[in-house]
Amino acid sequence: MVDMRVEIGGVRLANPVMPASGTFADGLDKAVDFERLGAMVIKTITRELRVGNALPRVCETPEGMLNSIGIPSKGMPYFHEETLPTYARYATPLVVSISAPTVDGFASLAEEVSLPGVAAIEINISCPNLEADGQAFANHVDSTERAVAAIRRRTSLPLWAKLSPNVTDVAEIGRAAEAAGADALVVANTFLAMAVDIESQRPRLGSVTGGLSGPAIRPIVVRMTYQCARAVDIPVIGCGGIATAEDAIEYMLAGASAVQVGTVTFVHPTAMISVLEGIEDYCVRRGYERVTDLVGALSVEEADETDMEWVDPLR
């Protein structure tokens, strides 16, 4: 029997597998037993009502998907009256993803969702910051620090900071989030991308650009997860292109303490359970008693100076 329990930023989970925000809803309970998940991460909410972006909002790409949903939200009254009671019947920890266009908006919303039944708050700092001409909070060290610190002052709940991959040095952003009070990092959100319909000669998304997710991004985000896990002392949750247990194990070996499964759920609704079972099978096969023994177990040999010398192939 493998001990599958993990602790992520102050939240004890029965196992390291959970959904990625935006790919999980209560209707999925018809295909998945929510009690088997490590956590339930719900779609990002905002204080105000939001209708979302112009259609079309989603298109397929080779080995991935582009989306520009625009965070449609029914607002806080709906969250209080409908969403929270819906998930309260499950023992699985509930993680609430939040978004706001300003630092003060983030902080006040975090305080408002700090309610009984909420285990942690995932702060979607990859969203546009209206105080910085629409640049995502997580694109810069200073705005990351300001946002996380302001939120930290307004809630005692564990904070999971969801980072943007659209940066030069994601580890630097991760360190800033940790210093400001984040309890865990989610690495990472989608990559800014674009697709064109050559027959209509128009963008394939109504908002022109969107976020790329799916298997195509996995090797890049595994690298980012590895870099962040080496840079911070808080847990890292790997998120990006996970479709199989092998994908999830790759993330964990690179340093992720847990994983979020997203895009594949649209194709295979039971993918999270398959990933969970596959991780446990791998641990049994490799003789691991605890799933946490996988975390950061990657074997990396450092090259010495001789190995790194340039060699003339004609010599």
Predicted TM-score (pTM) of the model is 0.94
Could you list the pLDDT tens digit for every one of the 315 residues in the chain?
Answer: 999 999 999 999 999 999 999 999 999 999 999 999 999 999 999 999 999 999 999 999 999 999 999 999 999 999 999 999 999 999 999 999 999 999 999 999 999 999 999 999 999 998 765 565 558 999 999 999 999 999 999 999 999 999 999 999 999 999 999 999 999 999 999 999 999 999 999 999 999 999 999 999 999 999 999 999 999 999 999 999 999 999 999 999 999 999 999 999 999 999 999 999 999 999 999 999 999 999 999 999 875 555 545 555 565
Query: Residues with Cβ < 8 Å from 13, sequence gap 6 or more?
Result: 5, 6, 7, 38, 39, 93, 258
Cα separation, 44 vs 27, whole angstroms: 16
Helices 245-253, 218-231: crossing angle, 10 deg rounding: 30
Is position 92 within any domain? yes
List Cα–Cα distances, 163 to 112, 185, 228, 246, in angstroms: 22, 7, 10, 23
Structural domain containing residue 84: 6-55+67-191+214-294
71 inside domain: yes
pLDDT reported for residue 135: 81
- Catalytic center residues: 127
Distance CA 218, CA 245 (A): 13
User: What φ, ψ does residue 6 adopt, rounded to 5°?
Assistant: -140, 160
85: left (phi over 0), alpha (psi -120 to 50) or beta: alpha
What is the predicted pLDDT for the residue at 311? Answer: 54
Does some domain include residue 1? no
Residue 116 lies in a domain: yes
Determine, yes or no, domain membership for 62.
no
**Is residue 313, in this structure, part of any structural domain at all?**
no
Retrieve residue 93's tokens. Answer: 């920890």
- Domain contains 303: no
Do residues 239 and 222 touch, judged by C-beta distance below 8 A?
no
pLDDT computed for residue 167 by the predictor = 96
Q: Domains in the chain: how many in total? A: 1
Q: Tell me, yes or no, whether 299 lies in a domain.
A: no
**Which CATH number characterizes residue 245's domain?**
3.20.20.70
Pairing label, strands 258-261, 17-19: parallel
Q: Nearest to residue 45, comparing CAs of 24, 70, 23, 75? A: 75
